[in-house]
Structure 1
Amino acid sequence: MAIELAALPWDRTALEPHVSGDTLDLHHGRHHRAHVDAVNALAPAAGMGSASLEEIVRGTQGALQAHAAQVWNLAFQWRGLKPAAAGGGGEPQGALAEAIARRFGDFARFRQRFAETATALQGSGWIWLLQRPDGSVTLAVTANTASPITGEDRPLFGLSLWEHAYVLDYREARGRYIEAIWNVVDWNFVASNMK
């Protein structure tokens, strides 16, 4: 079963001015596509030609696992973003808001901790809002292409910290990119990932 490039759930310019169409052309159209192509090239030789993407991420190592994890991570990220004009941004509600408040104190402190954690990562990777097996939430970074679906925590939201995710729009200012992303988070999607 060939892995396909997940279509963006909105037009390539829909997240502007927070994330440009040019960035999405680079990040989705070039990098995400390259990872999909690599998985499809490598999976058959590893005996994983008919495996699902999740099976490949969890059941392989090396280059195939790295590319598959990045495909999964990116597809998950796109679903967690929503144009501001369509209701993206704002603050979480309900059980998600309560879980964030229990762990971080309030939403403002959560955002501050998220930014501190994301900007502290040296090099490329991801920042994740995760739900632990006990139902609590936490933040974690993964280096390079690592994905939390290989562990026990449940991903609620993931954001790429690879330079190509923000360099066209924000140059090297990862902190400005993080600040802009709050305008386009789809909190309904994030909440839907909770157990």
Structure 2
Amino acid sequence: MTFTLPALPYSKNDFGDLISPETFDYHHGKHHNAYIVKANELVAADPALQGKSLVELIELTAAHGPKGLFNQVGQIWNHSFYWLGLSPEKKEPTGALLELINEAFGSVDALIEKLKAEAVGHFASGWAALNLKDGKLEVTSYHDADTPVAHGAVPLLILDVWEHAYYIDYRNARPDYADKILRNAIDWDFVAQNLDGLGLTRADQPGKAS
């Protein structure tokens, strides 16, 4: 097996009403795992793809295809990075990250509102994201399985806005999900750590040759 489902860095019971254990069961245990199973099948069928890391496969398939594999590996990385960016303990930005937030948006609340607007305004499935670009913070979004890895971005945080991320707990109320997660469940220490430019590697997995 080339890639495996990464363990959650917390218990699926830790988030209370913000993210239910049932959501983790489906979102992590079924959806995330399904991307891994399919990616492993596709890689196993093509010797030219074997031995490449998750990030290497994303970069390769973003440029040259196949699109089917890109969708799987992009979703694996996005989900892995998403889990790492969550915290059951409410945290606040500090230090260099807080300075960058204030410089770019004026306040933490303004950044959260910007990220929320990006998440809510994003049509259909995808991801809202906070990246570092030319030393400054940038809010953007990605459609479907697209990922910051495919665009050479320096990722700091990503928020899943596919329906499977929130439908069990929030039904179709994406604004409520985005607001509650962004205000109460972001691991701002992880976001700050990614200012070192190594965020891509934190959700990567090494490849294995058959």
What TM-score do the two structures reach when normalised by structure 2? Answer: 0.87
- Partner of residue 86, structure 2: 81
Matching of residue 48 in structure 1 with residue 49 in structure 2? yes
| Alpha-carbon distance between aligned partners in 2 of 1:118 and 1:177, rounded to the nearest angstrom | 10
Aligned-residue sequence identity (percent) comes to 36
State the AA in 2 paired with 1:17. Answer: D
Query: SS at the partner of 1:56?
Result: helix
- Structure 1 residue 83 displacement after superposition: 1.1
- Partner of residue 116, structure 2: 115
Post-superposition CA distance 1:42-68 (Å, at most 9, x none): 013332121111111111120101100
Q: How does 1:59-70 map to 2 (within 5 A)?
A: 59-60=60-61, 61=65, 62-70=67-75
Post-superposition CA distance 1:145-164 (Å, at most 9, x none): 10001223201000100001
State the AA in 2 paired with 1:64. Answer: L
- Partner of residue 204, structure 2: none
Query: SS at the partner of 1:129?
Result: strand
Contact 1:81 1:185 in 2 (8 A): yes
Post-superposition CA distance 1:18-45 (Å, at most 9, x none): 1111011110000000000011000133
Structure 1, unaligned runs of 5 or more = none
- Partner of residue 10, structure 1: 10
Query: How many matched pairs?
Result: 190
State the AA in 1 paired with 2:27. Answer: H
Structure 2, unaligned runs of 5 or more = 197-210
Post-superposition CA distance 1:130-186 (Å, at most 9, x none): 001x11011010000100012232010001000010000001111110111121111
Instruction: State the superposition RMSD in angstroms.
Output: 1.1
| Alpha-carbon distance between aligned partners in 2 of 1:2 and 1:152, rounded to the nearest angstrom | 24
State the AA in 1 paired with 2:73. Answer: A
State the AA in 2 paired with 1:10. Answer: Y
Structure ranking higher on relative contact order (CA contacts 8 Å, 6+ apart):
2
| Alpha-carbon distance between aligned partners in 2 of 1:90 and 1:82, rounded to the nearest angstrom | 8
- Structure 1 residue 90 displacement after superposition: 3.2
Give runs of ≥4 in structure 1 deviating > 6 Å: none
